[in-house]
Amino acid sequence: MSHHDVVVVGTGLAGLTAAVRLAEDGARVLVLAKGVGATHLSAGTIDVLGYAPERVDRPAEALGALVDARPGHPYALVGAGGVAAAVDWFKARIAAGPLAPYAYAGGVEENLLLPTAVGVARPSAVVPETMAGGDLRRDAAICIVGFRALKDFHPALAADMLTRAGVRARGVELDLVPEGRVDVNALGFARAFDAPAFRAEVKAQVVAQLGVEERAAFPAVLGIADPHGAWTELEHGLGRAVFEIPTLPPSVPGMRVHKSLHETLRRAGGRVILNAVVTGAEHRGGHVSALRIRVGLREERRGADWVVLATGGLASGGIELDSRWKARETALGLPVTGVPEPGAERFRPGYFEDHPMARAGVAVDHGLRPVDGGGERLYENVLVAGATLAGAEPWREKCGDGLSLSTGYRAAELVLAASTAAGAAAGVAGS
Amino acid sequence: MPTLQAELLVIGGGATGAGVAWDAALRGFDVVLVDRADLAEGTSGRFHGLLHSGGRYVVKDPVAAKECVAENAILRRVIPDCIEDTGGLFVTTPDDDPAYGDRFLAGCRACSLPAEEIDVAEALRREPRLNPGIRRAFLVPDASIDAWKTVWSLARGASAHGARILPYHRVIDLHREEDAVTGARVRNEHTGEELDIEAGFTINASGAWAAQIAHMAGIEGVGVIPGKGIMIAMNHRLVNTVINRCTMPADGDILVPIRTVSVIGTTDSRSADPDEIPVTQAEVDQMLDDGERLVPGFREARALRVWAGVRPLFQDEKAGAVADTRDVSRTHAVVDHRERDGVAGLLTMSGGKLTTLRLMAQDIVDAMCAQLGAERPCRTHAERPPGNEDGEPYSLGSRLRRREATLQDEQLICECELIGRSRLEQAMRRRGTTDLDDIRRSMRLGMGPCQGGFCIYRATGILHGVGRLDGAEASASLHGFLEERWKGVWPILYGDQLRQARLDDWIFQGLLDVEHLPDGELAA
Ligand SMILES: Cc1cc2nc3c(=O)[nH]c(=O)nc-3n(C[C@H](O)[C@H](O)[C@H](O)COP(=O)(O)OP(=O)(O)OC[C@H]3O[C@@H](n4cnc5c(N)ncnc54)[C@H](O)[C@@H]3O)c2cc1C
Ligand SMILES: Cc1cc2nc3c(=O)[nH]c(=O)nc-3n(C[C@H](O)[C@H](O)[C@H](O)COP(=O)(O)OP(=O)(O)OC[C@H]3O[C@@H](n4cnc5c(N)ncnc54)[C@H](O)[C@@H]3O)c2cc1C
């Protein structure tokens, strides 16, 4: 059985963040994951806090008030300072990563307001440089460019909604079809945008249609191999600000994040095994010594000093609920809190109502260690991060990636601090 | 006040009303049909999907059974495109009395229903997921029937013979002169405009709402007891044959394979108001247990959607109260208000089922002819309405086959239900609708496993793009769709469907932020 300093379960933003942070400090890290996680679906923006429940303009300030009001919220485990530190770290890693000079803009002090694909102004704190130009707090008319072959982005609809909210916007649709296919998803277009010839074609078709003052918006498909190059080339070629608007999944900006962090991890000596489903743990008392894993049809065991559990929430299969209302954390079988008793109401009949089980998840203490119903720590060497945590409704609060980034980062810091202390006591450095 | 004239006004655009319009138009009557909502949005769009062989009724209600036997055969002939010939099995589960099987067979014989007992092993070969503990199995000519297709096909057929079909026109009053009903006032539910319809005759085919309509003519005591039933659609064809428990009719004892899903049902409880039919989590739980009895592992399958319908069970006041709505006969009756209440020009259809819609229409139009002294024979047993001309029965693979043909040159808008862009645009134009929910019902858009997570944004964009929706309508339409969809899923959210719902939360609220759409509240 192989043994690792840390096994991270899950390769979403929380898992990758923890893994990179640990590997950078010399820990031997293995990431085990069933699939690639929500990064490939999400907007690629690090939303720190958008609604609480009113719209938030200054997330760092609002975070303080949020954790005072809701001590059970996962942000209470990291605090505003912890979020800021994680964001700084993340921005530095992307800027130094394999897609550099592709970088992130913004910070925790204030939210930008970025248009969504239906033209709603959505608050977002830390965003790809390729999206920042869409900030609606700046008053400049927008021309949204789309492609008929890309069914996951409708420029006229977005423009119409923005107009209704007082933004000067209009949409145009191009008939360009990469490789002559009528049905191409966001990733297909991103690959097309990696090619200079396609970019030139787009430029040629768009340039004559733009008004003098307009900024130009595109679906978030401006390149996957070299997004900085594609974006700057369009800005120069069109002579104006150009920005991306997220599409329906798959998410090209999300894939860029995944690719950057994954490569950074590899450079730091960490390893990822995909299609590895963690099915349980072996433990002695409050200490997990090994994980049971299923890779395809093969069963394996892996030993670890530390486990960071970042398996996502219901959306990623980290938590499941069966038809008899039994909820289960799927990797280690940790207790799930926030699920109403059988027979009690789980959901309300109105979609936008407050649903009783919305905040279900794994409860932890301040050391991110999972706890039982009585608040007792279950395992000393297991830390939980990301969407698995109980206490938030990130899709409504607009804080998904902010939570996963900051708790993943925090988990790594806690492991590093604890193993340094242990190492010092035992007279060994790091591991 | 704008006015329309017609020989016959049909109130209700469900299976019965559409059947009546088709029947009367074929006999040469000038018909107007109105429904307060879209066609087939009442009970007909919320039923179980079974074209009864009659087997369910042979022991308890032989009259109803005989009607089913005859009508099943006729409908297969005249609307083949709406019917999938799945066949049906009646099975004795370990919880059922095997002796009932003998009464069942005797009943089938008495009703001329061609039923055949087959080996349990043979039944299990045919349906491998069936409970291996079953003790007897009987093969019958059950089938599944698409109500939406049926209703629209009949309505289009009626149109082709001059009928005017007016969905979203609610009857708000009946006109009465002396001792006769002479038409109705209706309100266009989209524009709010009112319209008078002057009609020589009125047929009340409003199903569970029939008493409300009769009341508008000052007629009381038309006893329609709304009998509520819930159904759950599961993600797969767990079976390819209709499976019935071989017992006296009970809850959750039929599993119907229809299109790509299978539907378990149903319950039967009295409901006070046909417009208030909530589904509870307890009912869902009961239905899942019932499903488990027929197909072990049922609870592990993915539940897609739950809904409820109200049976228009008829009980005239004079007959006294009933304890169990299931004990009310499933046959239909024409209520002649001239005889019963001294009011001419109005007939009400009561009771019945979708399987017998043709016979019901024939009976009520015959009654009208009798009252009018007109001699015009019924032709619906021999005519095929549009879409059914070639006599080919529907088969599950036909949609995929169509889709494969255009794979290279068309965008797929709904991956779950295989809906291409041109079909969607066509439907939008043909229906002339701006309502995403109408499209959803007519094309099953957003009704597959992903519950609209992807296709609804796309469809909204396309509707908006072809100029059918402005921004405000698009907002309202998106919100309306999300609320409608949620109604059908929240009581069954567990397992994979809960995971899907959370993914959809992320798409609609995380990525698109639809709750902050301008004017979204219009939908409320
Ligand atoms: C469609 C969509 C849109 C979104 N939009 C936004 C947005 O606009 N802004 C924003 O901030 N956030 C958004 N998010 C949310 C954000 O992406 C997630 O909250 C966040 O990325 C979750 O990260 P995570 O690392 O906690 O979990 P995930 O990314 O869900 O990763 C979980 C990982 O654990 C693995 N796993 C699960 N169970 C097991 C097991 N038993 N064994 C092994 N591996 C397992 C999974 O395969 C996966 O690798 C969106 C999410 C989605 C789905
Ligand atoms: C749970 C359940 C399962 C069933 N399963 C089956 C089955 O498997 N097989 C089978 O053969 N039968 C089945 N039935 C029975 C069958 O569905 C009904 O008998 C049939 O659909 C009734 O059709 P209808 O046209 O009479 O009523 P509806 O379809 O309800 O039509 C009545 C119409 O009147 C309209 N209306 C109401 N008020 C007004 C107004 N003021 N102005 C204008 N229009 C108005 C309504 O909008 C509605 O569209 C089932 C019934 C239920 C409840």
Domain count, chain B: 3
- pLDDT for A429 beyond 60: no
Specify the amino acid at residue B505: D
Mean pLDDT (whole number) for A371-386:
96
Separation of B41 CA from ligand 2 center, angstroms?
8
d(CA A295, CA B304): 30
Which residues are CB-neighbours of B458 under 8 A, at least 6 positions away?
A151, A152, A154, A248, B413, B414
Domain containing B279 equals 74-144+226-314
Q: Convert the pLDDT of each residue in B361-376 to its tens digit.
A: 999 999 999 999 999 9
Q: Looking at CA atoms only, how far is residue B400 from chain A in angstroms?
A: 17
Local confidence band at B440 (pLDDT 50, 70, 90 cut-offs): confident
Whether the CB of B377 is below 8 Å from some CB of chain A: the reply is no
CATH architecture of A108-247: 3-Layer(aba) Sandwich (3.40)
What is the pLDDT, as a whole number, of residue A179? Answer: 81
Q: Convert the pLDDT of each residue in B211-247 to its tens digit.
A: 999 999 999 888 777 789 999 999 989 999 999 999 9
Whether the CB of A326 is below 8 Å from some CB of chain B: the reply is no
Separation of B14 CA from ligand 2 center, angstroms?
6
Q: Is the ipTM of this complex over 0.85?
A: yes
Whether the CB of A164 is below 8 Å from some CB of chain B: the reply is yes
State the best of A118, A144, A170 to mutate against chain B, taking most chain B CBs within 10 Å. A118
Asked whether residue B388 is assigned to any structural domain, the reply reads no
- pLDDT for A428 beyond 50: no
Co-location of B116 and B230 in the same domain: yes
Local confidence band at A343 (pLDDT 50, 70, 90 cut-offs): confident
Asked whether residue B468 is assigned to any structural domain, the reply reads yes
- pLDDT for B133 beyond 90: yes
Ligand 2 contacts CB of residue B41 (under 6 A): yes
**Domain map (residue ranges) of chain A:** 108-247
Q: Please, what sign has the CA dihedral across residues B391, B395, B397, B402?
A: positive
Cα dist. A320→A172, A327, B136 in Å? 43, 6, 38
Co-location of B332 and B275 in the same domain: no
Whether the CB of A354 is below 8 Å from some CB of chain B: the reply is no
Nearest residue to B327 (alpha-carbon basis) of B284, B269, B242: B269
Mean pLDDT (whole number) for A153-166:
96
Co-location of B270 and B170 in the same domain: no
Co-location of B234 and B258 in the same domain: yes
Q: Which helix (H) or strand (E) holds A163?
A: helix A155-164
Local confidence band at B523 (pLDDT 50, 70, 90 cut-offs): very low
Co-location of B326 and B219 in the same domain: yes
What is the pLDDT, as a whole number, of residue B407? Answer: 66
- pLDDT for B418 beyond 70: yes
Mean pLDDT (whole number) for A19-33:
97
- pLDDT for A352 beyond 70: yes
Co-location of B402 and B483 in the same domain: yes
What is the pLDDT, as a whole number, of residue B524? Answer: 32
From chain B residues 303-362, the ones with a CB under 8 A of any chain A CB are 303
Neighbours of B70 (CB within 10 A): 16
Q: Convert the pLDDT of each residue in A394-417 to its tens digit.
A: 999 999 999 999 999 999 999 999
Over chain A, what is the mean pLDDT?
95
For residues B477 and A310, which has the higher predicted lDDT (pLDDT)?
A310
Ligand 2 contacts CB of residue B354 (under 6 A): yes
Mean pLDDT (whole number) for A155-171:
96
Neighbours of A360 (CB within 10 A): 21
Over chain B, what is the mean pLDDT?
91
d(CA A145, CA A174): 7
Co-location of B299 and B177 in the same domain: no
Co-location of B461 and B330 in the same domain: no
Co-location of B39 and B184 in the same domain: yes
d(CA A96, CA A260): 9
What is the pLDDT, as a whole number, of residue B329? Answer: 67
Nearest residue to B254 (alpha-carbon basis) of B140, B337, B414, B416: B140
Co-location of B130 and B154 in the same domain: no
Asked whether residue B523 is assigned to any structural domain, the reply reads no
Local confidence band at B344 (pLDDT 50, 70, 90 cut-offs): very high
- pLDDT for B473 beyond 90: no
For residues B469 and A174, which has the higher predicted lDDT (pLDDT)?
A174
Contact A118 B470 (CB under 8 A): no
State the best of B511, B514, B519 to mutate against chain A, taking most chain A CBs within 10 Å. B511
Co-location of B201 and B271 in the same domain: no
Co-location of B35 and B128 in the same domain: no
What is the pLDDT, as a whole number, of residue A426? Answer: 61
Q: Which CATH number goes with the domain that contains B107?
A: 3.30.9.10
Ligand 2 contacts CB of residue B343 (under 6 A): no
DSSP string of B321-368, one letter each residue = --S-GGGS-SSEEEEEHHHHHS-BSEEEEEE--GGGHHHHHHHHHHHH
What is the pLDDT, as a whole number, of residue B267? Answer: 87
Asked whether residue B504 is assigned to any structural domain, the reply reads yes
Q: Convert the pLDDT of each residue in A298-328 to its tens digit.
A: 999 999 999 999 999 999 999 999 999 899 9
Ligand 2 contacts CB of residue B497 (under 6 A): no
Local confidence band at A360 (pLDDT 50, 70, 90 cut-offs): very high
Asked whether residue B428 is assigned to any structural domain, the reply reads yes
Contact B506 A343 (CB under 8 A): no
Asked whether residue B465 is assigned to any structural domain, the reply reads yes
Predicted model pTM: 0.93
Q: Convert the pLDDT of each residue in B278-324 to its tens digit.
A: 898 889 999 999 999 999 999 999 999 999 999 877 776 544 444 45
Mean pLDDT (whole number) for B144-161:
97
Whether the CB of A157 is below 8 Å from some CB of chain B: the reply is yes
What is the pLDDT, as a whole number, of residue A422? Answer: 79
